[in-house]
Amino acid sequence: MSTPELVRVTIDERDVHVPKGTGIVETALAAGVEIPVFCYEPRLGAPIGACRMCLVEVEGTPKLQTGCTLTAQDGMVVKTARTSERAAQGQNGTLEFILVNHPLDCPVCDKGGECPLQDLTFRYGPGNTRMSFEKLTFEKPIPISPTISLDRERCILCYRCTRFSEGVSEDGQLVAANRGAMSVITTFEDLPYTGAFTGNVTELCPVGALLPTQYRFEGRPWEIVDVPTVCGLCPVGCNINATVREGKVKRILSRNHFEVDEGWICDKGRFAFTHLRAEDRLTQPLQRVRRHGLEAVSWEQAVDEAARLLREARGRIVTVLSGSETVEQAYALAKLLRVGLDSHQAMLPEEISGALDAYRLPLSAIREADVVVVLGDVPVVERAPVVDLWIKSARRNGAKVVDDTNDPAVPEAERVVLVWSGPGGRGGATVAKLAEKLGLAGRDGCGAFYLPETPNGRGVADAWAACCDDEGEAVQSIGLLVVSGDEAAADENVRALAEQAETTIVVSMYGGLAAGWADLLLPGTSYLERDGTFVNLEGRLQRLRRTVEPPCLDELDWISQLAARFDVGVAPYPAAVFAEVSERVYGGLAFGDVGERAPLRFYPDAQEHVGRESLPEPQQKARRGEIRLVAYKPLFSGAAVERTAELQFQRPQPELEISAGDARRRKLASGDFATVGSNGSAITLPVRVNRRLRDGIARVALEHASGLGGIVEIAKAEEVPA
């Protein structure tokens, strides 16, 4: 890459050298001068110059100019309101206009205290108003969805939200209606604002117009603490702040990591935190007592009972992991079971291949790609939502987004990025193979991503593998099944396994998941309650922080107690456990050095510890004319979403997606009903024809698939279900 030409710009009599074309707002910052803005937000694309707050005087230009739409040119002389009388007059006038219809109800506004409008008014605004007429009033607040409310009186029409909807999430649902002073933000056709990313507009809004309903009247800025951590609900690992008041999480905010998430988070990560306070949350261990069912026991009793079950099944213990444990929890559990009890067999939801390490890139590199090849039939947004935003941004940036590595654009491109969204893909081995075939290794800006199903599958696998070199023998009959985490507990296959096992210990946040079949049920914690580390889909090791105390004993705590019974040393502190893992996997990196915004590090030693062969793909290939049904796990599903009332409207409708070609052959159109059948069972679903879907693939959300999958028969339904 060529180094950009530096130009000299004078801002308020200070000279500064910046690359040609740098925005004047940024140029001023480089000179230590703030140009206040409302509508300007570089992440939303080209500036629009709407709010007029950034008016500056430019030498040689008669009219005041908006700083946000100007770019640095050599010799440019800019005077901001600090040194230019005219610019100050323009800016004061603008701020006065902005406040003319604003209700100034800061004392009852959730934004109060963290509001750019309030801040800039204090800093630049007139102390009084010359407006003595009736202000505009609107009906308020309007719930534009169950999670977001809109106050049109507070709105200053900066169009950040509509630009996000149009140009970032590309859902096109938020629009401006009417004209002039009567302009309002609204959803298209007044429908609820749905989609994976809607909540971001509440953070983009520079006033209290778009606010998260969950946070309404829940806290004032001086009562809250924002705890920096990482979201643990999907493998992206968006950096977040958890707003905590009096020991409760009240809100989740993005915490811009420019390589990972660019400050966008999905609605699941933002709104599903209320799972912490779910009604069926377990706070005490439960033990099965014959004829009595589950009874609450003390932690001492529970640890005793667990020790008994473990001892009895020594060598015959099988562990099922969720992939949502921290590296430290997985390692501690591994040490207890593998070193202490000689039980090496563990099941992960999926194997994660180390083969991808040669093709690692930060997610932000997707935007710089010339070609992005998206492979797999699971929608990217359902598995790793923010990756979808990176791909969209690549497309807007001129990249070609294709679905086949044989696309003619691929060999011509300089920077090629592969994204495998599933199903299958052998933990990334398949996409790594494709990357190898294309010769992407070591090429600047080229790489491959595999979107795992679990948030920390890689970290859990690393920890489990690194703990011990013994492999042990395969367990013939399961003495004890240890089920770690809610995802595992909710898995039907795991339940089936539990029936074969003599005894079962389940660690779960919620009682409902395993109440019917666990012999010992231990309360689990949420990612928001844990200190530790996660490895995201880029292979980036990131730091989770305990944002609130869990209502129960932390996993590391009781694992450590149990380990002591078997003469295994497991510290109850994440930092100490991490030190051990790090010695083996992460090059001895110290816990404290993982970083608040973790860089993408490379661990050359990691391979030998985690080297595993993935299982061959158990996939039926559809023959010509046949249709393979992909039953994908939707973004808005899982234990946390199920327990968040406000997110129910986002859950997928029962609906069969079918390609245009397959629909035509079956005389199906969107809105028709189709029966989907295989092996004698059949379901009827409404059809949506999706032109982006390949022929031979049909798609349905897992919860509406009724267990169907693989090759299916699809035909127009003779009867429409009532």
Partner 1 sequence: MAERRVLLAGADERDLTQLAEYRAIGGYQGVEKARAMTPDELIAELEKAILRGRGGAGFPMGRKASLIDRKSAKPKYLVVNADESEPGAFKDREVMAKVPHRLIEGCLIAAHAIESRNVFIYIRGEYLTEYEILAGAVAEAREAGIFGDVDITVHRGAGAYICGEETALLESLEGKRGQPRPRPPFPPIQGLYMAPTQINNVCTIATVPVILEIGAEEFAKTGVPSSPGTAIFSVSGNVARPGNYELDLGTPMRELIYEHAGGIADGRELKAVIPGGSSVPALTPDQIDVPLDYDSLGAIGTFFGAASLIVVDDRCCMVQLAIRSTKFYAHESCGKCTPCRVGTRWMVQILESIENGTASHADLELLDSVGDNILGKVLCALGEFAVYPVSSYLHKWRDEFVAHIEHGGCPFEGSSSLEGILAPSDQHAHTPAGQEALV
Report yes or no: 98 and 116 within 8 Å, Cβ to Cβ: no
Q: Which is nearer to partner 1, 19 or 49 (CB)?
A: 49
Q: What is the DSSP letter of 313?
A: T
- Quick check: helix, strand or coil at residue 576? helix
Of residues 10, 26, 45, 69, which one binds partner 1 by CB under 8 A?
Answer: 69
Of 81, 157, 230, 622, the one binding partner 1 (CB under 8 A) is 157
Residue 53 C-beta: closest distance to partner 1, Å: 8
Shortest separation between residue 90's beta carbon and partner 1, angstroms: 5
Greatest CA separation for the chain: 90
User: Number of H helices and number of E strands within the chain?
Assistant: 22, 32
Burial grade of 641 (CB within 10 A; 0-12, 13-18, 19 or more): buried
> Looking at 1, 3, 179, 618, which residue binds partner 1 (CB under 8 A)?
179
DSSP 584-645: HTSTT--GGGS-TT------TTHHHHH--PPPPP--PPPPTT-EEEEEE--SS-SHHHHT-G
Phi, psi of 244 (to 5 degrees): -120, 130
Query: Taking the CB of residue 136, how many other CB atoms lie within 10 A of it?
Result: 14
Angle between helices 574-584 and 457-466 (to 10 degrees): 80
The position carrying tokens 């249709």 is 627
We find the least distance from the C-beta atom of residue 247 to partner 1, in angstroms, to be 42
Should residue 98 be labelled a site residue for partner 1 when binding is judged by CB under 8 A?
Answer: yes
Binding mask 9-48 for partner 1 (x = CB under 8 A): --------------------------------------xx
Q: Closest separation between CB of residue 52 and partner 1, Å?
A: 5
Query: In angstroms, what is the minimal distance from the CB of 33 to partner 1?
Result: 20
The answer to the question of residue 159 lying near partner 1 (CB under 8 A) is yes
- Closest distance of CB 157 from partner 1, Å: 6
Nearer to partner 1, 39 or 518 (CB): 39
- The mark string for 381-420 relative to partner 1 (x by CB under 8 A, - otherwise) is ----------------------------------------
Residues 6+ apart with CB under 8 A from 40: 25, 47, 51, 54, 68
Could you say whether residue 170 binds partner 1 (CB under 8 A)?
Answer: no
Write down the least CB distance from residue 170 to partner 1, Å.
14
In the three-class reduction of DSSP (H, G, I as helix; E, B as strand; rest coil), residue 15 is classed as strand
Q: Is 129 helix (H, G, I), strand (E, B) or coil?
A: coil
Stretch that binds partner 1, among 145-153, 170-178, 268-276, 418-426 (CB under 8 A): 170-178
Least Cβ distance, residue 49 to partner 1 (angstroms): 4
Min separation Cβ 179 and partner 1, Å: 5
Query: Using CB under 8 A, which residues numbered 461 to 490 contact partner 1?
Result: none
Distances (CA, A) of 612 to 334, 348, 354: 16, 13, 8
Interface with partner 1 (CB under 8 A), residue from 5, 108, 128, 181: 181
Nearest C-alpha neighbor of 539 from the set 600, 454, 616: 600
Task: Give the single-character DSSP code of 337.
Answer: I
Site membership for partner 1, residue 175 (CB under 8 A):
yes
470 neighbors 484 (Cβ within 8 angstroms): no
Interface pick for partner 1 out of 60, 107, 127, 180 (rule CB under 8 A): 180
291 is an interface residue for partner 1 by CB under 8 A: no
Which window, 152-160, 209-217, 407-415, 508-516, contacts partner 1 (CB under 8 A)? 152-160
> Nearest distance from residue 31's CB to partner 1, in Å?
23
Site mask, partner 1, residues 219-238, x = CB under 8 A?
Answer: --------------------
Q: Cα separations (Å) of 371 from 166, 358, 376, 395, 410?
A: 23, 19, 16, 9, 6
Q: How far apart are CA 212 and CA 209, in angstroms?
A: 10
What tokens appear for 106 in the block?
């800061």
Helix axes 327-334, 555-565, angle to 10 degrees: 20
DSSP string computed for 439-457? T-TT-TT-EEEE--SSTTH
Q: Contact with partner 1 (CB under 8 A): which of 6, 182, 191, 715? A: 182
β-pairing, 286-289 vs 520-523, is: antiparallel
State which of positions 100-139 bind partner 1 (CB under 8 A): 100-101, 130-131, 133, 136
Shorter beta-carbon distance to partner 1: residue 96 or 407: 96
For the bound state, the minimum distance from the C-beta of residue 10 to partner 1, rounded and expressed in Å, comes to 20
Between 142 and 175, name the residue whose CB sits nearer to partner 1: 175
**Per-residue binding letters, 48-67, with partner 1 (x by CB under 8 A):** xxxxxx-x-------xx-x-
Q: Summarize as ranges the residues that interact with partner 1 (CB under 8 A).
A: 47-53, 55, 63-64, 66, 69, 89-90, 93-94, 96-98, 100-101, 130-131, 133, 136, 156-157, 159, 175-176, 178-183
